[in-house]
Each structure stands twice: as structure tokens, then as C-alpha cells.
Amino acid sequence: MADTERTLADLVELAPDAPIQFFDLKSQQASIRGALETRWSDILDHGRYIGGPEVTELEEKLCEFTGAADAVAVGSGTQALVMPMIGLGYGYGDAVFVPGFTYNASANAVLLAGATPVFVDIDPVTFNMCPEDLERRVKQVAKQRNLRAKAVMPVDLYGLPADYERIGAVADQYGLQIISDAAQSFGGQSGNKRVGALASITATSFYPTKTLGGYGDGGAVLTTDKGIGEMLRSIRWHGTGEDRKNSIRVGLNGRCDSIQCAVVAEKLSIFEDERARRLTVDALYREQLQGVVGMQSQFSESRMESASACGLFTIRVAERDRVRAELTEKGIPTSIYYDTPLHRMPAFEHFNPAGGLRECERASEEVLSLPMHPYLSTGQVARICEGVLGAVRR
């Protein structure tokens, strides 16, 4: 571990004028390449490219890290959302409540499972699902003959865990299953519980740019119920039993390849060091950008008991597109997550709630994500903040 720490420290000591990367997977790879090449050679030797020992290794390490009772590696973050809904039997007429401000995979997963997405507005500070609006939407569904409220899918946007205490209270009152979309929040926590143990079912993604990512597609379902884990192992192999021949339930090809599990397992060995650096970068941002008129970040004192995974550092600013253009001219990369709320996308406009979703729509016009990764130097963060301050104050 000491060697890893020195390597990480060396990698972040960049020259102040070094090009800034929005994500930096090359520096990360430099710290683990030798170990990865050894792992890949092992896979070539044993030849179990699917279902190899690396799958079980990763699942055990995920449980150890998160405190989940079981973990099931799957082929993508979307599959991690779809498969639990298939296993729980959701289908036509079943309503699943989803925030309207997130990546489209959340809504797609509900529809792929055969259920109906019901979009919920967000909290204007945290950007996560608003518990009050959730309860309003649940009550509205209860008045409809063609829908049955079944589940709620909070999304831990930008790495900050949703308000599971208040959402859980609504879910308990109305008999809803919580399926957490933690694609952006692996490593986060609330109180003394880590993401993966905040809900009975948690889906995460190993897309390369996530806080814990592979070198291709992959994901996992973490659960506090071993029975759900065994069900998902069947579903990921076309619903077969132990013989992997006869289908005992509806399933699909949801497997995660051995090579991706090996990559993710190796990245777990440096994850705590990277997370510590992410928190440092996050603190630098908040210190240098605090109190700027016309700008807001994701954090407020009332939610600091929830520790973000710092997957993205997102601000909201007026004249967002102008600010972004000025930062681009200064060599500071940015991104927008997301410029179109789900209920305004053509594929989902049929589910647009009457009156729209005010906070989702406002956020889509103002959010701007700044570079966030463990290999940003202190000097680079200062350059980014200087650029932001100059653009916002114009």
C-alpha cells in the first residue's frame, strides 16, 4: 500500500501548466499497469474468459468494502437496474418512480423491464430526488386505475447519496421497493453505512469513468438479501439453475467478463487512496469557490452527513453556456450532466407529468461539471477555480 501511495502522490505532482484532463484514466493506469498485465496473463492461462475466478473475487471484495450481504457482477450498469426488476416480476401497469434529472439509462431500465417510469422532481441543492415530490407522485398514481405503485429508484447524482432516510420513510408508508441507482456514487456513504448497504438493492456501474470503473462495460448489484443475490445469479445466465442449461425463470445474458472483473478488483486496491485524493480536490474546489455570487455547488450544511463519492464536481451558474465557452478558451474542460431532463426527451415525452418538473428544467439550464479525478494537482485546481471565478464574475 505504501508503494501505491507514493505512486499516487508522484502522479498528482504535476507542473502547474500541465494540460488539464476532465477524466484521467492514463495516470491511473500507470499506477497499476504491471498488476493488470499479471492478471491478464493469468486469465489467458486459465482460459475462463467468462465466469472465471476473477468474478467471485470481485464479488467478495465488493461485499467486504461496502458491507453488502451479496454482490453480483453483471454486464453493465443498465443491466444492474433491469435485472432486479425482472426478478421482482415488475411489468405492465407497475409504476417505478425515477428522478427526472439523471442519465437516460434510469428510465430505459424501467421500460426494458416492462414497467412504467413516473418522473419525480429534484431538490434544487443536492440535485437528488425530492422526497416531498415523491410522495405527491405516489398519491397521484394511487388515484389512477391503470398504474400500481411498486418501486422507487433514487439516483445518487454526481456521487452524493440520495436522502435514503426520507425516501425510505415514503417507501415504507406506501409499500415501495427501493432500487438504488448508484452508478455515480460507489465509495460514498451516509452516516456509518457505505453505498451498497443504504438500500436493500443497489445497482452500480463499472463504466471506465466511474469512481470504480473497468476498461469496458460492467456493473454490479449489491444487496442486503442473499436470496436476491442468488436470484440475480440465475437471471444473469438466462434464468438457468445450477446446471446452466434449464431456465427456471426469465433471464438474459447479464454476465460480466473475467477481464473486467480483474480490472475492477485491481482498482479496488487503490480505491481508498484515490477516494482520499478526490475528497481533497473537492475540498479545494469548495474552499476556493465558496460564496461566489451567481454560483451554487451541490453541497449544503444540512446534507454534509452524507459523504459524496465525488464522482463529479458540479456547479450551477447563470449564463452557463457563456461560462463554459470562456473556460474552453482557457484550456479548462467541462461537461454538462445533463442538458435535457428525461421528461423532455422524445423517447420519454409520453410520461411527461402535467406541469413538467420545474427544478429538473432549471438545473438542465444551469449545471456545469468541472474536472474531477484523483490525479488533479493542487495547481491545476487553482487554475480551474481562477478560470471559473473570472468567467462567473464578468
pTM exceeding 0.85: yes
Task: Give 96's pLDDT tier (boundaries 50, 70, 90).
Answer: very high
Cα 310 from Cα 361, distance rounded (Å):
23
Residue 74 CA to residue 198 CA, distance in Å, equals 20
The whole-angstrom separation of Cα 370 and Cα 103 is: 17
Domain spanning 34-266, CATH architecture: 3-Layer(aba) Sandwich (3.40)
Q: How many Cβ atoms from other residues are within 10 Å of residue 248's Cβ?
A: 11
Bridge partners of 94, per DSSP, are 148
Percentage, residues of the chain above pLDDT 90: 88
pLDDT given for residue 1 in this prediction? 43
Please state the domain extents for the chain: 2-26+270-392, 34-266
> What is the Cα–Cα distance from 191 to 165, expressed in whole angstroms?
11
Q: Which pLDDT value is given to residue 303?
A: 47
Query: Helical H runs in 13-73?
Result: 25-46, 53-66
Per-residue pLDDT of 19-40, as tens digits, reads 999 999 999 999 999 999 999 9
pLDDT band at 15 (very low <50, low <70, confident <90, very high): low
| Residues 147-160, mean pLDDT to the nearest whole number | 97
> Per-residue confidence at 292, pLDDT binned at 50, 70, 90?
confident
Q: Are 197 and 224 in contact (CB under 8 A)?
A: yes
Residue 93 reports pLDDT greater than 60: yes
12, pLDDT greater than 70: no
CB-based contacts of 133, cutoff 8 Å, min separation 6: 120, 121, 122
Residue type for 263, please?
V
Average pLDDT over the chain reads 93
CA angle at 97 for the pair 93 and 101, rounded to the nearest 5°: 135
Residue 371 predicted with pLDDT over 80: yes
Examine the pLDDT at 194 and tell me if it is beyond 80. Answer: yes
Question: Are 117 and 110 contacting, i.e. CB atoms less than 8 angstroms apart?
Answer: yes
Amino acid letter for position 272: E
**pLDDT tier for residue 332 given thresholds of 50, 70 and 90:** very high
Residue 301 pLDDT > 90: no
Following CA atoms 15, 21, 22, 25 in sequence, which dihedral angle do they give, to the nearest 10 degrees? -110
Mean pLDDT for 64-75 is: 98
Q: Summarize the confidence of residues 146-163 as an average pLDDT.
A: 96
**pLDDT at residue 18 is higher than 90:** no
Confirm if 341 and 367 have CB atoms less than 8 A apart: no
CATH class of 2-26+270-392: alpha beta
Lowest-confidence segment of 14-18, 103-107, 111-115, 384-388 by average pLDDT: 14-18
Nearest to 17 by CA among 331, 389, 369, 374: 331
Model pLDDT for residues 172-183, shown as the tens digit of each residue: 999 999 999 999
Q: 53-66 vs 25-46: helix axis angle to the nearest 10?
A: 140
Cell 445497482 found at? 203
Average pLDDT of the residues in 269-281: 96
Set of cell numbers at residue 76: 453493465
The CA-atom distances, in angstroms, between 381 and each of 163, 171, 276, 394 are 29, 40, 16, 20
pLDDT on residue 20: 95
- Cell 473475487 belongs to which residue? 57
Q: Which amino acid is at 170?
A: V
pLDDT score, position 25: 94
Please count the other Cβ atoms lying within 10 Å of the Cβ belonging to residue 59: 22
- pLDDT score for 298: 58
pLDDT in tens, 213-238: 999 999 999 999 999 999 999 999 99
Long-range pairs for 134-139: beta carbons < 8 A, 24 or more residues apart = 134/97, 134/167, 134/170, 135/170, 135/173, 135/174, 137/97, 137/353, 138/97, 138/170, 138/174, 138/176
> pLDDT tens digits, residue range 233-256?
999 999 999 888 999 999 999 999
Q: Residue 261 pLDDT more than 90? A: yes
